[in-house]
Amino acid sequence: MNGERQILKNDLAIFEKMVIELEPYLMNNAIRRFITGRDTPKMSIGGCLMRQQRLELMRDQLQKEEQDLLDVAIQQFNLALEGGVIRFECRAHQELHVRLGEWIGYFRCLTMYKGTKVAAARVARYASEVDTRVVIGALIDKLELHPYQLDQRIPEELATLDRSLRRRWQVGEFVWAPVWQPAYPHDRYWWLYGKPK
């Protein structure tokens, strides 16, 4: 249980750091940006949104002071977006295209090297690779909300990729730390429960 609490605390701390970096990040053109801190992932809109979504869903697992920190971070996140709807939408679409390219590249590698050690190594790393798919979903969810407008070709392209994954899917255990499982129910996030064949 202590390990799970630490995972939640670390994710909250990363989310807070990303929110602090959001305004300068939006003014920059890089899809990912380094942020200070040991073992801290690179800043991206999608990484920020992914953490916000799951921390909100895991709110009951946070202590009261952590819930307050989450509320402040979400409020700061929303304030940072208020004056820059078009800029945020543009940057989110840029990241979506990059992430989709990465996800396509993952499948291309599995297909190209099918039956080899290279493909086996990529399947073995699926738990870290699938982060890309979660981020894509978080970005789409945000861009489907008013006042944003999602490029409708993106969900169509993602649906094609999901169908491709389903054809080679092997159902299994939840691929991430068990603490996150309540935030990612099987019916919506089936691709977090198993691995490609």
Contact 196, 165 (CB under 8 A): yes
Residue type, 25: Y
At residue 172's C-alpha, the angle toward residues 168 and 176, to 5°, is 105
Q: What are phi and psi of 195, to 5 degrees?
A: -160, 165
**Residue 40: what pLDDT?**
67
pLDDT for 39 equals 66
- Strand-pairing partners, residue 171, are 194
The answer to whether the beta carbons of residues 118 and 109 sit under 8 Å apart is yes
What is the value of pTM for the model shown? 0.92
Contacts of residue 26, Cβ cutoff 8 Å, sequence gap at least 6? 80, 84, 87, 88, 91
- Per-residue pLDDT of 111-150, as tens digits, reads 887 888 888 888 999 999 999 999 999 999 999 999 999 9
Q: How far apart are CA 70 and CA 11, in angstroms?
A: 10
Contact 64, 10 (CB under 8 A): no
User: 136: Cβ–Cβ under 8 A, 6 or more apart, which residues?
Assistant: 46, 96, 99, 100, 103, 158
Residue written as tokens 């700061």?
Answer: 76
Alpha carbon distance 132, 130 (integer Å): 5
Question: Cα 94 to the chain's mean position, in Å?
Answer: 15
Say what the pLDDT of residue 16 is.
95
Positions of the chain with pLDDT under 50? none
